[in-house]
Amino acid sequence: MSRLFLTLLFSYLIIVNPRPKLPDSKRASDVRATVWPRLQRELNDRGFKGEAPIYIRIFKDQDALEVWKKAGNKYQLFKTYEICYYSGNLGTKTKKGDNKSPEGFYSIEPKQLNPASKYYLAINVGYPNKVEQLKGYTGDAIMIHGHCASIGCYAMTDARIEEIYTLVYKAFEAGQQKINLDIFPFRMDNAHMDFYSHQPYMAFWKTLKPGYEKFEKTHMPVTYYIKGKNYAF
């Protein structure tokens, strides 16, 4: 196969299947211009490549949002951000207006970025996911965003969402198709499961635990399938 043919084929594929344009705004662009050089230095100092895929997970009881970067054939923790505020304590969202923040396994695609949010910068978490839709859960527009105030979302300070949003944008810009986002009430080891065993959400939390354990073992984001109306791995 000639080099000319491969070049023409590659050009054709780009024209026919162009990479989707990422949502953007002057605000988000200005943020990247300031924040990305600093993040690149931090990534390089830690041995990460800036264009490597990312994975995000949240632990409610620790007010923690973790950003992981792929390094080799596994993901490694890059940075942990403190969540400024979320509502409803532990237990997942099930209906619109319940003032709860969701728990479960989600994915973020480029269309879920909002670079001109009234909450500064925002990322839609993807609630309700397929399991939640089967269960008839209601509500939408659940975000990770700035301004440190929210009902049902995960609010960050503006400085923190600048970094998180930029890391997500740059991962998409480098070609990542979707970003796994896993939201847990707590670290789902046996000690925490025992500590929270009196909570009325335990039956649901037990369906999350295998996904948590699988990532802890492999350091690769998990893919779930649906068994009945629950997560299975």
Label residue 66 exposed, middle or buried (CB < 10 Å: 0-12, 13-18, 19+): middle
**Active-site hit among 147, 153, 198, 219:** 153
State the angle between helix axes of 158-173 and 26-45 in degrees (0 to 180), rounded to the nearest 10.
80
Q: Is-catalytic flag, 147?
A: no
Give dist(CA 157, CA 72) in Å, integer: 32
Please tell me whether residue 224 adopts helix, strand or coil conformation.
coil
**Active-site hit among 145, 148, 198, 219:** 145
- β-strand partners of 71: 74
Q: Which of 57, 27, 104, 65 is nearest to 215 (CA)?
A: 57
Q: Is-catalytic flag, 84?
A: no
User: Which two structure tokens, joined as six digits, stand for 196?
Assistant: 């929270």
Give dist(CA 220, CA 179) in Å, integer: 12
Backbone angles phi, psi at 190, to 5 degrees: -65, -35
User: Which two structure tokens, joined as six digits, stand for 158?
Assistant: 């503006």
Catalytic residues: 145, 153
